[in-house]
């Protein structure tokens, strides 16, 4: 067979090309890590691990100049997890509605509209958050929260407008389409035989969803949430416009904060000397933080996947 050898060559070529593409990703990641490490040598050697736990950020040259990343790590984690807390119930609700409950003629348009949210540029979310959502929060939501829940440390202080709450709500809306569209696909992948079995045993629709569909889809849903978290951690533009950009580590959602992405976006263009190095190190730290959270998420998906009720899936 003369064609066999050429086909084999083609296969090998194809495998080689595909492997090259796969390697490129790894190489790019490595190059980024190396470049960031090199550019942040100055602060790496000056502060060591103290940079990560340092609470003060003062870029003015002189006696008070000091760089610490903790307020930004704090701001990033607080806004991202608050956004998750707001977005996850809603997005899973949307996914359940579309996959399990909605009639066909509602299903497609709703899914389409939700996915459209993902296509809106983040600067638009920032503008909308500032001009539309912010006044609503200031006039209606913030006073109510501080009046009824003001005794909690989370709602202390006078609402200024640009704060953790505003940034988190907008972030929640931004990650909603990611989580809900992935969740919907996961729910759709649940075999119909399981649903039928549950219904045949006399389960109501709610019981079927709660005790058969959701447990089966648990690991996939966790994965969807992780994707949303990834987007929230790195979001820059909208957060910078809304979060207030004051590095602080308050528990209150009425205080302005700063995130790792926002401080880089704000100060990088004019940064010089040690400040430049400190900002690059924040970039390196964000890189590491994303990596760690992703690994934790993988472990979580893996653990959830092995719980009973999900035995049929790898």
Partner 1 sequence: MSVRLATVAVFAGLAVLGCKGDGSSPAAVGSASQAAKLPSPPADVSLNGSGATFPNPLYQKWVAAYQASEKGVRINYQSVGSGAGIKAISDRTVDFGATDAPMTDDQLGKATGKILHIPTTLGAVVVTYNVKDVPDHLKITPDVLAGIFLGDVKKWNDPRITALNVGVKLPDQAIGVSWRSDGSGTTAVFTDYLCHVSTGFKDKVGSATSVKWPVGSGSKGNDGVTNQIKQTPGSIGYVELAYARQTKLPTMDLRNKAGKFVEASLEAIAAAAAGSLGKIPADMRISIVDAEGQAAYPIAAFTYILVYEDATDAAKAGALAKFLWWGIHDGQKLGGPLHYAALPSEVVSKAEVLLKLLKASGKPLLEGK
CB of 58 to partner 1, least distance (A): 4
Among 79, 168, 245, 280, binds partner 1 (CB under 8 A): 245
Looking at the Cβ atoms of 111 and 256, the one nearer to partner 1 is 256
Interface region with partner 1, contact rule CB under 8 A, candidates 92-100, 201-209, 255-263, 292-300 = 255-263
Q: What is the dihedral of CA 49, 55, 58, 63, to 10 degrees?
A: -70
Q: How far apart are CA 173 and CA 96, in angstroms?
A: 18
Q: Work out whether 304 is an interface residue with partner 1 (CB under 8 A).
A: no
Among 107, 218, 246, 274, binds partner 1 (CB under 8 A): 246
Residues 160-199: x where in contact with partner 1 by CB under 8 A, - otherwise, as a string: xxxx------------------------------------
Q: Work out whether 80 is an interface residue with partner 1 (CB under 8 A).
A: no
Place of tokens 């045993």: 201
Mark residue 53 as left, alpha or beta (left: phi above 0; alpha: psi -120 to 50; beta: remaining): alpha
Residues 208-235 as b/e (b if ≥16 CB within 10 A, e otherwise) read bbeebbbbbbbbbbbbbbbbbbbbbbbb
CB of 256 to partner 1, least distance (A): 4
Interface region with partner 1, contact rule CB under 8 A, candidates 20-28, 98-106, 263-271, 296-304 = 263-271
Number of residues that bind partner 1 (CB under 8 A): 40
* Burial grade of 310 (CB within 10 A; 0-12, 13-18, 19 or more): middle
Among 26, 270, 308, 311, binds partner 1 (CB under 8 A): 270
Nearest to 40 by CA among 208, 217, 288: 288
CB-based contacts of 24: which residues, under 8 Å, 6+ apart? none
Q: Work out whether 70 is an interface residue with partner 1 (CB under 8 A).
A: no
Task: Give whole-number Cα distances, 269 to 35, 263, 265, in Å.
Answer: 18, 11, 8
Q: Work out whether 283 is an interface residue with partner 1 (CB under 8 A).
A: no
Looking at the Cβ atoms of 176 and 258, the one nearer to partner 1 is 258
Q: How far apart are CA 142 and CA 136, in angstroms?
A: 9
Interface region with partner 1, contact rule CB under 8 A, candidates 72-80, 109-117, 264-272, 303-311 = 264-272
* Burial grade of 257 (CB within 10 A; 0-12, 13-18, 19 or more): buried
| Interface with partner 1 (CB under 8 A) | 3, 6-7, 9-10, 56-62, 64, 130-131, 134-135, 158, 160-163, 240-241, 244-247, 256, 258, 262, 265-272, 275
């Amino acid at each position: 067979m003369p064609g066999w050898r050429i086909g084999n060559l083609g296969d090998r070529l194809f495998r080689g090309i595909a492997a090259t593409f796969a390697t490129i990703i790894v190489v790019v990641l490595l190059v980024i890590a190396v470049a960031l490490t090199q550019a942040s040598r100055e602060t790496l050697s000056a502060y060591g691990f103290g940079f990560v736990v340092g609470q003060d950020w003062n870029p003015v040259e002189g006696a008070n100049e000091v760089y610490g990343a903790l307020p930004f790590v704090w701001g990033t984690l607080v806004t991202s997890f608050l956004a998750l807390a707001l977005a996850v119930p809603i997005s899973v609700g949307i996914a359940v509605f579309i996959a399990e409950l909605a009639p066909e003629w509602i299903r497609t348009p709703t899914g389409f509209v939700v996915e459209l949210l993902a296509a809106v540029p983040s600067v638009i979310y920032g503008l909308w958050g500032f001009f539309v959502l912010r006044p609503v929060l200031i006039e209606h939501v913030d006073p109510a929260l501080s009046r009824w829940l003001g005794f909690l440390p989370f709602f202390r202080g006078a609402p200024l407008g640009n704060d953790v709450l505003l940034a988190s709500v907008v972030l929640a809306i931004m990650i909603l389409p990611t989580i809900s569209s992935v969740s919907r696909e996961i729910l759709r992948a649940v075999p119909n035989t399981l649903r039928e079995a549950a219904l045949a045993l006399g389960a109501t629709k709610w019981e079927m969803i709660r005790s058969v569909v959701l447990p089966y889809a648990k690991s996939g849903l966790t994965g969807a949430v992780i994707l949303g978290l990834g987007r929230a951690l790195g979001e820059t533009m909208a957060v910078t416009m809304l979060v207030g950009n004051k590095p602080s580590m308050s528990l209150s959602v009425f205080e302005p904060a700063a995130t790792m992405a926002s401080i880089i976006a704000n100060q990088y263009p004019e940064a010089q000397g040690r400040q430049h190095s400190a900002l690059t190190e924040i970039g390196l730290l964000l890189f590491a933080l994303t990596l760690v959270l992703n690994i934790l998420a993988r472990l979580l998906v893996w653990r959830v996947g092995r719980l009973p009720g999900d035995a049929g899936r790898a």
